[in-house]
Structure 1
Amino acid sequence: MIIDAGLILAVIGAGLAVGLSAIGSGIGVGIAGATGAGVIAIRPEKFGRALVFQAVPQTQGMYGLLIAVLILLSTGVIGGDGGSVPLPLGLAAVGAGLATGIAGLSAIGQGIAASAGIAATAEHDTAMGRSLIFAVIPETQAIYGLLVAILIMAFSGLLTGDPTATEATGLAAIGCGLAVGIAGISAIGQGIAAAAGSAGSAEHEGSFGKNLIFSVIPETQAIYGLLVAILIMAFTGMIAGDPTADLAIGFAAVGCGFAVGLAGISAIGQGIAAASGTATTAEHEGSFGKNLVFSVIPETQAIYGLLVAILIMVFTGMITRDVTATLAAGFAAIACGFAVGFAAISAIGQGIAASAGIAATAEKEEMFGKGLVFTVIPETQAIYGLLV
């Protein structure tokens, strides 16, 4: 029996797209639904509004379904003869599935924000509009994933039926998917911050603008992932239609994806700090600047991931197309991505420390400097990863 590796990979890509995003949407919808059920038990007239908030995290599952169907249609699994699929297109399908599927986990953060919106609206009728804004903010990570998935399918020839991808650009597509997909998990941190913003704005309408600033801070990690994904597509020739055939570059692209993607999870720590900053600023308006300082500190781990991703592109010759890397160097790039990426998750601990620093500074302003010291200490783990 002949095994068509390309077709198998394409089907796996479709499964990743719809399966992972369904996990995110299911959890997010469940979080919002649990709060909604509790609210309508006391305020049954709020059923309609609660249902609106619960529906918000559903979209990620729809994005995953859309990409899965497009993959199956373009490879002939649906409505075709189910014939052979070139291996590069199978790899590209996996990249598209990872981009949409992992980014679909952003629905968990959206569910957290939507849950807070339901609670805020139950107590304050006028909070509906502002709370919806906070609830939809974590949607952007899923949109980035959807965008990259469509670009991968277009530039590889999956959508056009004119395959141009090589095995190297197929691997690069996986790197793109990892970059934007894993970085999309930053939406959990954003959801934590947005939930605090929703609650704070309901109690103090004048704090809406400042709360919005705290809520968008964890967005930057997702933007880094989107940026690296686009750079990979550009420098491997996917966008220009002149794809590289060097496998070392393909593996290096995977390393870039892991570096910036895993480092993007640092946004969870940033969200924890930003949520504390939101709550404290509502009570002490003069503390906004100091709270912002604490909230941005966990950003550095994401910057390390972005830096390593760019260095990989430079030293492997991906940017100049003057390839000097060997296959071993490509695998080394993946190891570099793991080192800086996993180490960057230490930012969650840093966010917890920053949150306490914000609270301490709110009580006594002179604690600002000492609070910063406690906050930066967890940074050392990320520096070790960067050093390696």
Structure 2
Amino acid sequence: MSIEITAGFILAVTGAGLAVGLSAIGSGIGVGIAGATGAGVIAIKPEKFGQALVFQAVPQTQGMYGLLVAVLILLSTGVIGGGGGEVSTAMGLAALGAGLAAGIAGISAIGQGIAASAGIATSSEREESMGRSLVFSVIPETQAIYGLLVAILIMAFTGMLTGEEIATTATGLAAIGCALAIGIAGISAIGQGIAAAAGSAASAEHEASFGRSLVFSVIPETQAIYGLLVAILIMAFTGMIAGDPVSDAAFGIAAIGCGFAIGLAGLSAIGQGIAAAAGAAVSAERTESFGRSLVFSVIPETQAIYGLLVAILIMAFTGMITRDLVPTLAAGFAAVAAGIAVGFAALSAIGQGIAASAGIATTSEREETFGKGLVFTVIPETQAIYGLLVAILVMAFTGIITRDVTATAAAGLAAIGAGFAVGLAGLSAIGQGMTAAAGIGAVARRPASMGQSLVFAVMAETFAIFGLLVAILIMFGIGLFGGV
């Protein structure tokens, strides 16, 4: 049977390409990081070649998951296997979602490569630490498994695997929302890999710290779990799981907003991993600092919670959960704007993690600086709050929260500009975190410098305020506040 190259077919094969391509990037970089360390080790200890090869093989699995999903998509569309026929746009969108889920989540292999690299280094010095180091190395694998799971569920619930299509354009778009939720949040494995690498090194030096190091290593996992939760909720509330798919495309667009909100917010785990790495290292040396280090390590979690909150609000107020309301295109576009605002701004957690790691190191030496360290650590939080504020304002003034959308589709689409303004400006918190980290060190050495150090730390806030200002001006300009 000849294959008709339709829009759906193009979307499907693009999904296959992204599945294998993106995961190959992750595995290639992860394997390269581990391999570089292995090459350095065998230059001194050639007998460690086999051991290093075991660790280097660990980040390869993500590429295999991507290949598996790509082949399944190609089989279902008839590109290989002798099948064929027309691929609908709805099925093409679903295939694109499946490919993105496995592909983006496959980038988690970078974090796994970081952990495996540390495992090669530590086990080459201490043979007995190999088992523990392998445990730390496989922890970041779970994000890729979540992505693979969601990809297979999408293919199963849309009928792609059985050939009995039950997808609609709405559920095809919702599949992309699922992919963004679990895929981008799956990159949290980079933060987990940073923490796991520190845990591997710490437990090699202090075997008794293995349990504590594991605690710090799993903390950045929560963002991926939030992403998985939202992906499953989207599948449930759009009728994919029950086989009763929604038909209004606005539901699917709103689901993409949910995906952006929790997916991008999940990258806050990178900051959390930076802090957790410091916690693992410090608590291995000083067990009494474990509690304080945990406090600093969980602070960057709040940004992910903001993203989860916005995702749930979108599902609730667009009628996705109860299906007692048919959303408009304006509501769908506004949901995307809200997701972008809170999602990108959540990357402020990277700056917060940098500051938190300095707080952990300083308070382990000087316990009395704990309170001051917390003050500096929470400063980069404000960018995330600005993003959350704009997300709520967009949902409120387009009528999503009141469930009475009066804004036009054009206004909802234009609101995406407001989301980008405050969201991307929120990344200024990375610079703020660097300054805050230095401020913690300065105050530890000279307590009287607290005021001056705070001035330095808040200077980078200016640019986030610029983004907030422009976001508000955009909302005024498109009439969300009753303007033109």
Instruction: Work out whether the TM-score is over 0.5.
Output: yes
- Matched position secondary structure for 1:244: coil
Report the AA paired with residue 127 of structure 2.
D
Match of 2:137 among 132, 135, 140: 135
Superposed CA offset, 1:147-206 (max 9, x none): 000000000010011100100000000000010000000000000000000000000000
Contact 2:77/2:83 (<8 A) preserved? no
| Structure-2-length-normalised TM-score | 0.79
Report the equivalent of 1:161.
163
CA-atom RMSD, angstroms?
A: 0.7
In the aligned structure 2, how far is the partner of 1:345 from the partner of 1:164?
A: 37
Distance (Å, rounded) in 2 between the aligned partners of 1:197 and 1:280: 10
For the residues of structure 2 that align with 1:90 and 1:206, how far apart are their CA atoms? Answer: 52
Equivalent of 2:339, from 337, 340, 364? Answer: 337
Q: Which residue of 2 aligns with 1:239?
A: 241
Q: Deviations over 1:192-229 (max 9, x none)?
A: 00000000000000000000000000000000000000
Shift of 1:336: 0.5
Contact 2:22 2:107 in 1 (8 A): yes
> Cα distance, 1:88 vs. partner?
0.6
Question: What does residue 29 of structure 1 align with?
Answer: 31
Q: How big is the shift at 1:80?
A: 2.5
Following superposition, the deviation at residue 324 of structure 1 comes to 3.7
How far is the alpha carbon of 1:282 from its aligned partner? 1.0
In the TM superposition, residue 79 of structure 1 has moved relative to its aligned partner by 1.6
Structure with the greater alpha carbon radius of gyration: 2
The ranges of structure 1 where at least 4 consecutive aligned residues each deviate by more than 6 angstroms after the TM superposition are none
Q: In structure 1, what is the equivalent of residue 419 of structure 2?
A: none
Q: Which amino acid aligns with 2:107?
A: L
Q: Does 1:109 align with 2:91?
A: no
What is the identity, as a one-letter code, of the residue corresponding to 2:329?
L
Aligned pair 1:367/2:369, yes or no?
A: yes
1:117-196 to structure 2, matched below 5 A, reads 117-196=119-198
Unaligned 5+ runs, structure 2? 391-484
Q: 2:48 aligns with which of 21, 46, 66?
A: 46
Give the aligned partner of residue 253 of structure 1.
255
- Which amino acid is the alignment partner of residue 262 of structure 1? L
SS in 2 for 1:275: helix
AA matched with 2:23: S
User: How far is 1:81 from its partner?
Assistant: 4.7
**What's the offset of the Cα at 1:306?**
0.3
1:8 aligns with 2:10: yes
| In structure 2, C-alpha distance between the alignment counterparts of 1:125 and 1:322, rounded to whole Å | 61
Answering whether residue 76 of structure 2 is matched by residue 74 of structure 1, we say yes
Secondary structure in 1 matching 2:267: helix
Contact 2:248 2:326 in 1 (8 A): no
The equivalent residue for 1:320 is: 322
What amino acid does structure 2 have at the position aligned with 1:282?
Answer: A
Q: Residue in 1 aligned with 2:310? A: 308
**Runs of at least 5 residues in structure 1 that lack an aligned partner in the other structure:** none
323-332 or 184-193: which moved more?
A: 323-332
How many correspondences in the alignment?
387
C-alpha separation between the residues in 1 aligned to 2:335 and 2:96? 20
| Amino acid aligned to 1:56 | V
Higher relative contact order, structure no. (Cα contacts within 8 Å, ≥ 6 residues apart): 1
- 1:294 maps to what in 2? 296
d(CA) in 1 for partners of 2:180, 2:82 = 29
SS of residue in 1 equivalent to 2:43: helix
Q: Which amino acid aligns with 2:41?
A: V
Alignment partner, residue 426 of structure 2: none
- The alpha carbon displacement at 1:83 in A equals 2.5
Which of the residues 276, 279, 294 maps onto 2:278? 276
Counterpart of 2:264 in structure 1: which amino acid? L
Q: 1:82 offset after TM fit, Å?
A: 3.7
Matching residue of 2:380: 378
> Secondary structure, in 3 states, of the residue corresponding to 1:377?
helix
Deviation of residue 3 (structure 1)? 5.1
Query: Structure 1 CA distance, aligned partners of 2:117 and 2:29?
Result: 12
Q: Percent identity at matched positions?
A: 83
Q: Distance in 1 between matches of 2:56 and 2:173?
A: 37
Cα offset for 1:323? 2.2
Partner of residue 61 from structure 2, selected from 54, 59, 62: 59
Post-superposition offset of 1:322: 1.3
- Find out whether 1:96 has 2:85 as its counterpart: no
User: Deviation at 1:96?
Assistant: 0.3
Distance (Å, rounded) in 2 between the aligned partners of 1:15 and 1:378: 38
Does the Cα contact within 8 Å between 2:264 and 2:346 map onto a contact in 1? yes
Counterpart residue identity of residue 114, structure 2: I
